[in-house]
């Protein structure tokens, strides 16, 4: 087992969307129920008529979690979802695969422990300064054991 700072386990990703033609599916934080999208709550938006919060573009393999403290809304982005726009109320991360496999990061970001600790302002600030709070350190199995246990 190895102690790891949460920031060693992931990289902040996601960016503003490039100009696009036609419509895209916009997923607000309200359209996500725990770990899935309620498609009745999504909307089709063009580049020019999208809400200001519809400004997060992601790629397949990314993991999204709601920034709001105590809110359990976590998604693993697949090829279909990678075409959507997401609310800036989500934080997009990618597992640092040399430290933690994506499956384990997803489960960690969905855990009650993380949900009670997360503070979006602190998390982004910690990432920028490469600092962490003591409670944001996790004891993890080695990378080899993580991979073996995910099979």
Please write the tens of the pLDDT for every residue from 7-46. 888 999 999 999 999 999 999 999 999 999 999 999 999 9
With beta carbons less than 8 A apart as the criterion, state whether 88 and 56 touch. Answer: yes
The pLDDT tens digits of the residues spanning 101-131 come to 999 999 989 988 888 777 655 666 655 665 5
Residue 142 structure tokens = 């080695």
The region, left, alpha or beta by phi > 0 then psi within -120 to 50, assigned to residue 2 is beta
């Amino acid at each position: 087992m190895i102690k790891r700072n949460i920031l060693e386990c992931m990289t902040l990703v996601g960016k503003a969307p490039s100009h696009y033609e036609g419509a895209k599916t916009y997923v607000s934080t309200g359209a996500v129920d725990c770990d899935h999208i309620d498609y009745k709550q999504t909307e089709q938006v063009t580049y020019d008529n999208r809400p200001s919060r519809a400004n997060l573009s992601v790629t397949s393999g990314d993991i999204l979690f709601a920034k709001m403290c105590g809110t359990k809304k976590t998604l693993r982005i697949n090829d279909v979802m990678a075409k959507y726009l997401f609310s800036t109320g989500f934080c997009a991360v990618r597992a640092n695969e040399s430290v933690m496999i994506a499956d384990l990061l997803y489960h960690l970001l969905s855990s009650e422990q993380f949900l009670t600790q997360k503070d979006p302002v602190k998390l982004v600030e910690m990432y920028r300064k490469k600092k962490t709070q003591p409670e944001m350190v996790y004891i993890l199995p080695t990378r080899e054991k993580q991979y073996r246990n995910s099979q």
